[in-house]
Structures are given as C-alpha cells and as structure tokens.
Amino acid sequence: MNPVVFSASSVSAYIDCHLRWFFSYVLNEKGEQSEAQAVGIAVHDYAERMLNGLVDVMNGGHARPVPSPTGLADLARIFDEHILPTYRDPVLIEASFQVSINGIPFSGIIDSVDRQDIGQAAYANILRDLKTTGKRPPTGRYRFPLVGYWLGARELGYEPAIMQLDYIVRTAKPYYWPEVVAAPDEDDIAWFAATLDAVADGVERSDYEPTGLGTYVCSYCPHKAICGPYTRYKEVTDAN
C-alpha cells in the first residue's frame, strides 16, 4: 500500500508543481503563509465556533459569545447574517475522514454537513464548504476537493444529496456568493480516482521536477524563497 496519505491540498500542490510537493510533504517545509491563507484560517475557525454554538442552542444549551477575528469583522458579519441562518441541522462540523481509493489513502476534513427537511418526513444532507476569496470565483473551481469530501461524508454515514460552496468574497464591500454543486456521479468518481492515481504514481516514482516553474504557480508558492530553480529562473529573466 502506498505509505503516503493524500489530501485535496497535497494533490493540488503536486498538480501545481512537483517540486512544491517535495518541499511541503517530504522536507516538511511550512513556507510563507499568505495573507489570503491567514484570512481563510481565521474565518474558518470563527465559522466552526459559531456552528458549534448553533448546535448547543438547538440542544437546549446556551451559545458562548464568539469574538470576530481580528480585523475581519466585515467577513464575520457576512457569515452571521447570510450563511449561518441558512443552516437547519448541522450533523457534521469539521469532521475528519479517511477513505481508500483503489488502495490509495485519501484524507480530509469536511467543513460541515447540514441536514435539511425536504418535506413528507424526508431529509437531505447537504455537504457545505466555506471559502474566502478575493473575487467571485469561476464555477467548478473546487471539483476535486468536493468529490473527495463527498466520498468522506458517505464513509461517515452521511451521504450528501447535494453540495454547496459558501463563498465570502473579499471585495471593498464583502458579500456572500453560494455555488450549488450536484452530487458526483460515477464519471466524477472515476475522474477523481484517476487524478489521485496519477499523483500517487508520480510520488511513487519520486518525480519532483519543478513543473510549475515560469507559470502563475510561482507567484503564490510558499516555497519560492528557498527554491533553487526559481532563484535561477528569476536571475535569468531579470537580466534579460
């Protein structure tokens, strides 16, 4: 069995640049955290505590006040006013999972699964994923992670009928932008498995070439400060 446990972020890193994966998952280099990453982590932490507070209230308890993330009150307000009220019954919050896809282990953390009443004593689970972004994203951007999270939710016993991305768009006036995504079909799952298999094969072969060099990937790579190929590339391009 492949000893590496893959995740959506590690697969994305390898697809972006094989050398980036080496820095992150072989050398365990943390790299430089971008502002966007810091904001995303802070908002996720806030949302998790707010959802747990909602569950406490639904169970007859009292929610503790949750302070807004420092400097991010506008984003917290968007969550409070536009996203939190749409939840009905969060049955999973920040739930860890691990599944095996063709013998390759894949793990992740599901933001939430919300159970909603669809009438006639029937319920549907909605897989939800919160994102912060600088501009309104194109549809289908997070297809791979969502399929993985769907498989994870199914493994945990909460097969989602539908999926939803909850974007908080960080423009001058932040706003909420939801994207509803159909549950994956057999073709989606086959594509997911093939993508995972290709990445696992590259890692197995120790293919750590700088495949992202000279592309947009370098602009946000957290390891460019210690990347020799990038340093040499910049020396050549800056001299010309």
Structural domain spans, the chain: 1-32+211-240, 34-209
Cα 49–Cα 10–Cα 36 angle in degrees, nearest 5: 50
Percent of the chain scored above 70 by pLDDT?
98
pLDDT at 44 over 60: yes
Helix axes 8-16, 143-155, angle to 10 degrees: 150
pLDDT at 222 over 50: yes
For residue 111, the tally of other CB atoms under 10 A from its CB is: 22
Residue type, 25: Y
pLDDT at 75 over 60: yes
pLDDT tens digits, 136-177: 888 998 999 999 999 999 999 999 999 999 999 999 999 999
- What sign for the dihedral angle of Cα 140, 146, 150, 153? negative
Q: Are 23 and 226 in contact (CB under 8 A)?
A: yes
| Residue 230 pLDDT grade (very low, low, confident, very high; cuts 50, 70, 90) | very high
- The whole-chain average pLDDT of the chain stands at 93
pLDDT at 7 over 70: yes
Q: How far apart are CA 155 and CA 224, in angstroms?
A: 37
pLDDT at 2 over 60: no
The CA-based dihedral angle spanning residues 166, 169, 170, 172, taken in that order and rounded to the nearest 10 degrees = -140
The pTM (predicted TM-score) of the whole model is 0.92
Max intra-chain CA distance, the chain: 70
Q: Are 189 and 146 in contact (CB under 8 A)?
A: no
Q: What does each C-alpha distance from 78 to 112, 174, 175 come to in angstroms?
A: 18, 7, 6
pLDDT tens digits, 111-130: 999 999 887 768 999 999 99
pLDDT at 237 over 90: no
- pLDDT the model gives residue 61: 84
pLDDT at 188 over 60: yes
Cα 207–Cα 209–Cα 210 angle in degrees, nearest 5: 150
pLDDT at 240 over 80: no
Topology classification of domain 34-209? Lambda Exonuclease; Chain A (3.90.320)
- Residue with token string 């932490």: 45
What distance, in Å, lies between the first and last C-alpha atoms of the chain? 48
Q: Please choose, from the candidates 105, 89, 102, the residue with its C-alpha nearest in 3D space to the C-alpha of residue 152.
A: 105
- pLDDT the model gives residue 122: 80
Q: How far apart are CA 30 and CA 112, in angstroms?
A: 26
Element (H, E) at 200: helix 186-204
| Residue 3 pLDDT grade (very low, low, confident, very high; cuts 50, 70, 90) | low
Helix axes 186-204, 8-16, angle to 10 degrees: 60
